[in-house]
Structure 1
Amino acid sequence: MHVVLRFRATAVVAAAALLMAGCATGPGLAKTNSPRRTVQAGADASSTDPSVKPSAQPGKPIDPAFAAERLRLVFPCALMEKELLQTLGTPAKYTSSNYTRCSNYMKDKSGKTLNLTVEIGYSLTSTEVKNATKQVAGLKSSEQKLTSSCFVSAVTQENPAQAVRVQVSTGSGDQAVSDPCEPGRKVLEGAVRKLRGNPQKYNPPKGSPVEVDPCTAVDKATLAPVLGASPRMLAFGLHQCSWTGQSAQMQLEFKTARVPKDGKFDPKSTEVDLGGGVKGYQALKDGAFPTCEIILVRTKDSSDAGEIAEFSVGASKNKELDRCQAAQAFVKAVLPGLPSA
């Protein structure tokens, strides 16, 4: 049975959940509390960012179980076992908004709000790496405790720094859980244990980009006309990569999305012919760093749930560059290497 995608649109991005072969019931859809972090130009594995440890081999996970090529196929909802959640309270339905994140908006044993979100391949900041002084399931761990929430991370790779992260949020006032970090540790320990075993995996449909490493899908010859000979690369999570140089940036991301009936992912979207019967949806966004984005639909089901590849080329306002022409060349160079439907 192939992956089925279901959606609920949010104000920021259309979210999707993949139902798994072998699951009696699949996750629904909901917006998580985790904000999307912006990829910053100029950072890469050779930078002086303290989140990068020169002594660690680039791209080498702490354990083979945490290798990126393995994690891309792991179904995150399966990492929060119902039996484990039942020890914390009353689980609700699983909800997912992208390939690597899953939530359960449940109640604890006292009937208080206990929202749990697990994310794999989470890109750690230098501060989070510096604060990884605890231990969870044999891995370095960091905790960030706020009034009614807690973020608990276990480091799975040091260069670039990645982790399995659990976010816990509770009610406020007399509805707050006394220590939101405690359930986070338990869920994180269970998730790491599952990852080291045989976690449930996606059964992607033909044409799905879920297994593709966006950083290796693009070669320097494709980047050079816009960014120069030595662009700096930054991976974000497991499905997004950006390159910067010469006052410009190029980015590729694979993600789930609700596919609009008219193809207008953005109000400014226009359909463009990319050759070979392939069409994309292009939008030029103005501002201090004008950017042209082109979206390609890679899979779509009867309910318009799908997976997309999003290409973007941006540059500072004073840089002479036809951003959309460059974005189209970007797509055409990468497209032959992507899985075909």
Structure 2
Amino acid sequence: MSDGVATVHLVRSPARTVWTAIALSGAFLLAGCGSQADLAKVNHPRTVVPAKVVQKPQPNTPPRPVEPVFAPERLRAVDPCALMDTQTLSAFGVPASSRAVALSDCGNYMKDGAGKRLSITLRLGQNVLISDTAKTTKLAGLTTVESTSTTTCFVKSVVQEGSVVLGIVAQVDYEGDSCDVGRRLNESAINRIRTNAPLRPQGNKGSLTSVDPCAIFSPVTATEVLGGTPSMTPYDLYRCNWRRDSLSFGIEFAENTDPKNSSANKKAEVVTIEGVTAYQRKDDSFGNSCKIEWLHKATTDGKGEVATVSVDNTKKGVDIDLCAKATTVAKALVPKLPKP
């Protein structure tokens, strides 16, 4: 499931970038056995705020958390499935096992008390765009907007403003009152992060979950790849993009299928980057691009933490070896990543 209106991802054209829209998810639970938020169904008083007060993306304004506790580096440390425990979700029915579906996401595909399907995903640090016509509310003190698509409701609470707007997003697919479920879950997650954020388990050696892709990469190498002084833009918690004129490159960390088993890599060239086996492929369906990806750390079921480097050129008629540039980025990146 995805919310094309609310999710801002890198797109192609002068608006084109390294990635297309993807669905992310993130969830949390109070570490240990601390107090649980009351999720019994109640009618939440909400005050409608005119759309003009919403902090929309402001290109010349550095990103800033609305509260220090929601800073990206702090959100990366939160266990994305900790809030999706049985005790919390029992308020909505009969939970299944919660599972991570991305580095900062967690989902549970459960049933309500009457046996109807109820799919819940809680996303942490997702890009959010609030349209001019959106009606916003305040949920747990945060600017929040809801949108629906058939039986799915997205409850998006803004935790970062400025040039990149991020939010905590509850996504609920349910034939009942999906927005009520999303609202209650989002409110609980926000308050728990404020009071006693559940941290990821210790001992996850070499994980990319703690890595900021923008901070780990050298500006000197960015200039080497693109020339001049590239502009840098963070996206979500685990994607970053550098651009200069028609050229751009991006770094993404994700939980995904092992690249060697990915159908997209059937015709990819196998390359070695700083001792790591990687898969390189060109794509000219929307212009010119080259992507290199590799398995950083295996998890379960043929999946793992995957690092991806993509280089794009939107200007036609210019002969540039994009794979050579992608290789330069990957070679600079691999040694800086934590050792699994």
Task: Give the TM-score taking structure 1 as reference length.
Answer: 0.77
Counterpart AA for 1:96:
A
1-side partners of 2:242 and 2:135: how far apart?
28
Distance 1:146 1:285 in 2: 32
Q: 1:184 to 1:211 in 2, by over 3 A?
A: same
* C-alpha contact 1:244 1:250 (8 A) present in aligned 2: yes
Tell whether the 8 Å contact from 1:296 to 1:308 is kept in structure 2 after alignment.
yes
Aligned length: 296
Question: RMSD value over aligned CA atoms?
Answer: 2.8
In structure 2, C-alpha distance between the alignment counterparts of 1:149 and 1:261, rounded to whole Å = 34
Match of 2:56 among 51, 62, 79: 51
Matched with 1:198 is 197
2:155 paired residue number: 152
Q: Is the 8 Å Cα contact of residues 8 and 127 (structure 2) preserved in structure 1? A: no
* Cα shift at 1:135: 1.3
Q: Which amino acid aligns with 1:286?
A: D
Instruction: Choose from 93, 96, 121 the match for 1:92.
Output: 96
Q: How far has the Cα of 1:97 moved from its partner?
A: 1.7
Letter in 1 for 2:183: R
Q: Which whole-Å CA distance do the structure 1 matches of 2:244 and 2:126 have between them?
A: 25
Q: Is the 8 A contact 1:74 1:202 kept in 2?
A: no
Aligned to 1:9: none
Match of 2:75 among 61, 71, 77: 71
8 Å contact 2:268–2:279 — kept in the other structure?
yes
Shift of residue 143 of structure 1? 0.8
| Distance (Å, rounded) in 2 between the aligned partners of 1:180 and 1:305 | 30
Distance verdict in 2 for CA 1:50–1:105, change over 3 Å: same
User: What secondary structure is seen at the aligned counterpart in 2 of 1:256?
Assistant: strand
Match of 2:284 among 283, 286, 298: 286
Alpha-carbon contact 1:242-1:251 (below 8 Å) kept: yes
TM-score normalised by L of structure 2: 0.77
Native 8 Å contact 2:225 2:329 kept in 1: no
Percent of aligned pairs with the same residue?
33
For the residue of structure 2 that corresponds to 1:90, the secondary structure is coil
Q: Is the 8 A contact 1:264 1:281 kept in 2?
A: no
> Is the 8 Å Cα contact of residues 94 and 103 (structure 1) preserved in structure 2?
yes
Written as runs of structure 1 = structure 2, the 5 A alignment for 1:76-155 is 76-127=80-131, 131=134, 133-155=136-158
CA contact (8 A) 1:51 1:124 kept: no
Structure 2 equivalent of residue 329 of structure 1: 328
Change (3 A) 1:272 1:261: closer
Is this contact kept in 2: 1:75–1:99, CA < 8 A?
no
Whether contact under 8 Å (2:158, 2:165) holds in the other structure is yes
Letter in structure 2 aligned against 1:296 = W
| Matched letter for residue 320 of structure 2 | L
CA offsets per residue over residues 256-279 of structure 1, 9 Å max, x none?
A: 22325678861122222334x333
Q: Secondary structure at the match of 1:320?
A: coil
CA contact (8 A) 1:256 1:307 kept: yes
The 8 Å contact of residues 92 and 181 in structure 2, kept in 1 or not, is answered as: yes
Change (3 A) 1:102 1:90: same
How far did 1:202 drift? 4.2
Distance in 2, matches of 1:252 and 1:260, equals 16
Q: Aligned to 2:65, what secondary structure does the other structure show?
A: coil
Residues 9 and 127 in structure 2, CA contact (< 8 A), matched pair in contact too: no
Once the two structures are TM-superposed, the CA of residue 105 in structure 1 deviates from its matched residue by 1.6
* Cα separation, 1, equivalents of 2:295 and 2:106: 23
Q: Which residue of 1 aligns with 2:217?
A: 218
Amino acid at match of 1:222: T
Q: Which runs of 5 or more residues in structure 1 are unaligned?
A: 1-31, 44-48, 171-175
Contact 2:85/2:98 (<8 A) preserved: no
State the Cα deviation string for residues 155-201 of structure 1 (Å, max 9, x = none). Answer: 1111221110001112xxxxx21x32111111111111221213141
**Counterpart in the other structure of 2:166:** 162
Counterpart-to-counterpart distance in 2, 1:300 and 1:84: 29
Identify the range of structure 1 (103-112 vs 216-225) with the bigger mean alpha-carbon deviation: 216-225
Q: SS of the counterpart of 1:224? A: helix
Alignment of 1:254-273 (within 5 A): 254-259=253-258, 266-273=265-272
- Provide the residue aligned with 2:246 in structure 1: 247
In the TM superposition, what whole-angstrom CA distance separates every residue of 1:49-104 from its partner, at most 9, and x where no partner exists? 9722589x733312222111111122222123422321221212213321111111
Alpha-carbon displacement from aligned partner over 1:123-152 (angstroms, at most 9, x marks no partner): 111428x73621111211111133322110
Specify the SS of the correspondent of 1:223: helix
